[in-house]
Amino acid sequence: MNTTELYLYLTACAVNGIAAQANEADFDALWQMTLGHNMTALAAKALTGTKAFKSADAAEKHRWTNALNNSVKKTMLFDAERRLIIDFLEKNGIWYMPLKGAVLNAYYPSYGTREFADNDILIDPSYMKTVRAFMEKRGYFMRCDNFAADEYSKDPFYNFEIHRELVELNDYYIEIANYYRDVNSRLIKDEGNGFGFHFSDDDFYIFFVAHAYKHYKNRGTGFRTVADEYVLLNCGKLKLNFKYIESEMRKLGAEQFERTLRSLASGLFSQPEQMKKNLERLSADESEMLQFILSCGTFGNFENLFKKEFQAAAQNKSPTGARYYFKRIFPDISRFKYSHPFVYNHKIIYPFFLVYRNIVNPIRHRRYLKREIQTIHKIKSDASEQK
């Protein structure tokens, strides 16, 4: 099987907790593919028992076993750090709910095999300053504060997002943001602690899909989303009511996305030993979703986002670089309805805000700007070659 098929096969074996069989592998190509989707540890869990791995040289074996061991170690350290943060929340009477990967990890067959970049915790928004003081005292610095969350980092790899809202307001996924504006009504009190909450199984699954759909519509989402979907459906720990789930997905505008993601995960992973046939049996929608997701990487890619922006800037005219950059430098005020509501509601300061924005952003986000310019140049070059 080729590298992509091997990657899918190893993932299928890992999420099912079964031994993999592979006589040979292009280790470098497989490494780059799994690294791009933040799934090296999961692939390593299945790969290390194969004939291909056992016949590899010592350096290759070390690369994969080290990735798996480091992922387990990182998960352990994150779990311990999260417990310290939750202890602080408990002692100070602040309600909280761990989110996303912090919960998802426990559903995988093997501890530490689902890699992650950060942990998310939703808290009582009236205590954001209290938590900030605590995090900074523990050596964290706040790398970003946005509408939905304060993002904290500390060496060597700790990243926590402390949420005041589940989802930030954004034109790309306004239905999802509005759906979760009153999230408290969906929370269920934990047993065994004073201030912890959780979602019902159905609402946890809905939020997982909504979050994936948010990324899918924006920059795209990586293949780990498909693995997560299969694990949630088959871990045996969730009791899901799909009549309710599908009705809520309609409200989010994500009904077709959820249905295709669910069938794609089941079709790919239910019978790992038949991966080639599984791929051949995918529907057109499933195949299209798989190819797009495989092209994205863990958190999507900026090219997907910039392509959408490039087309939107044309406003029904032929898209050009000049139109794109003009709209980026002088965006319509409606663009700031959610990201900068004060500017939107006080239009008299809009010109001054633009001056500030166009001076500060190229300095503060110069790496992002460089990537944007390179991507727009590539989009224009590709478009020219197709003519």
Q: What's the pLDDT tens digit per position in 343-358?
A: 878 888 888 888 888 8
Residues 42 and 14 sit within 8 Å (Cβ to Cβ): yes
Contact 323, 330 (CB under 8 A): no
pLDDT in tens, the chain (387 residues): 899 999 999 999 999 999 999 999 999 999 999 999 999 999 999 999 999 999 999 999 999 999 999 999 999 999 999 999 999 999 999 999 999 888 999 999 999 999 998 999 999 999 999 999 999 999 999 987 777 899 999 999 999 999 999 988 765 678 888 899 889 999 999 999 999 999 999 999 999 999 999 988 877 889 999 999 999 999 999 999 999 999 999 999 999 999 999 999 999 999 999 999 999 999 999 999 999 999 886 544 555 555 666 566 656 566 677 777 787 788 888 777 766 777 878 888 888 888 888 888 777 667 767 767 777 677 666 656 555
Three-state DSSP state, 165: coil
Q: Is 98 helix (H, G, I), strand (E, B) or coil?
A: strand
Instruction: Work out the burial of residue 48: count CB atoms within 10 Å of its CB; fewer than 13 is exposed, 13-18 middle, 19 or more buried.
Output: middle
Phi-psi region of 88 (alpha: psi -120 to 50; beta: other; left: phi over 0): alpha
Q: Residues 46, 10: contact at Cβ < 8 Å?
A: yes
What's the CA gap between 234 and 236, in Å, rounded?
A: 5
Residue whose C-alpha is closest to residue 300's, from 361, 214, 383: 214
For helices 366-386 and 350-364, angle between their N-to-C axes, nearest 10 degrees: 90
| Amino acid in the structure at residue 100 | K
Per-residue pLDDT, 305 = 56
Q: Backbone phi, then psi, for 81, in 5-degree steps?
A: -65, -40
Q: How many CA atoms lie within 13 A of 264 on its CB side?
A: 25
